[in-house]
Amino acid sequence: MEKIEIIEKVRKYLEQNFKNESTGHDYWHFVRVWKMAKNIAKKEGGDLFVIELGALLHDIADWKFNGGTNEIGIEKAKILLKSFNVDEKIINQVCYIIDNISFKGAKVKNSMATKEGKIVQDADKLDVIGAIGIARVFAYGGNDGREIYNPDIKPKMHTSFEDYKNSKGTSINHFYEKVLLLKDILNTKTAKKLAVKRHQFTKNYLKEFFKEWEGKI
């Protein structure tokens, strides 16, 4: 099976299974990360087949919806890619990306060793910053039963993945616990450049949010 055909089959699988997902981890998130990863790769290089598969499958079973583990996502990706006769070496590279892509807390080091993984990780993080990122924060927060904002609940800089996973802070706190930190931990020059405008947009949004929260004229 040709690589382009495999990519298309993976895309169709995601479309069929995630089209109506409402937490911000939907089919269109996969498509945006896929497109962004390809654009970053044009500047940064890397194995495009691994990058495309990693981008499409990075959230096939996100830990947030699967008991805090990536194992289900890794297993699903393996089964799917094996059904398309993808080489074992490629499958292992894609599963490595799935296992290491996630943000795990403000003070938790999350290293991604491969160029392909770094590109996919950056593409995923860019979808958290800016206008779409803001929408996704509130989509996920509402689904998870989080308050929009509560001034009595302060942001926390989590020191372990376990603390981060179990956190039940507000949606606004999530901006300070994750979103605003991403610009400075991106891997590639291309992504860092793209993040500047999105980061500023997010800061401007929060400034307006708190102005309205206080009822200022």
Domain ranges of the chain: 3-213
pLDDT in tens, 43-55: 999 999 999 999 9
Burial class (CB in 10 A: 0-12, 13-18, 19+), 64: middle
Which of 131, 102, 137, 175 lies closest to 24, judged by CA? Answer: 137
Q: Which amino acid is at 172?
A: I
Please tell me the distance from the alpha carbon of residue 122 to that of residue 183, in angstroms, as a whole number: 9
Place of tokens 């616990």: 177
Kindly report the average pLDDT of the chain as a whole number: 91
pLDDT computed for residue 61 by the predictor: 66
Q: Which amino acid is at 113?
A: A
Q: What are phi and psi of 164, to 5 degrees?
A: -65, -45
CA distances from 158 to 104, 129, 155, 165 (A): 8, 19, 9, 9
pLDDT computed for residue 53 by the predictor: 97
Is the Cβ–Cβ distance between 7 and 38 less than 8 Å?
A: no
pLDDT in tens, 45-104: 999 999 999 999 998 866 555 554 668 888 989 999 999 999 999 999 999 999 898 888
The top-level CATH class assigned to 3-213 is mainly alpha
pLDDT beneath 70: ranges in the chain: 61-70
Please tell me the distance from the alpha carbon of residue 141 to that of residue 52, in angstroms, as a whole number: 28
Tokens representing 125 are 């993080």
pTM: 0.92
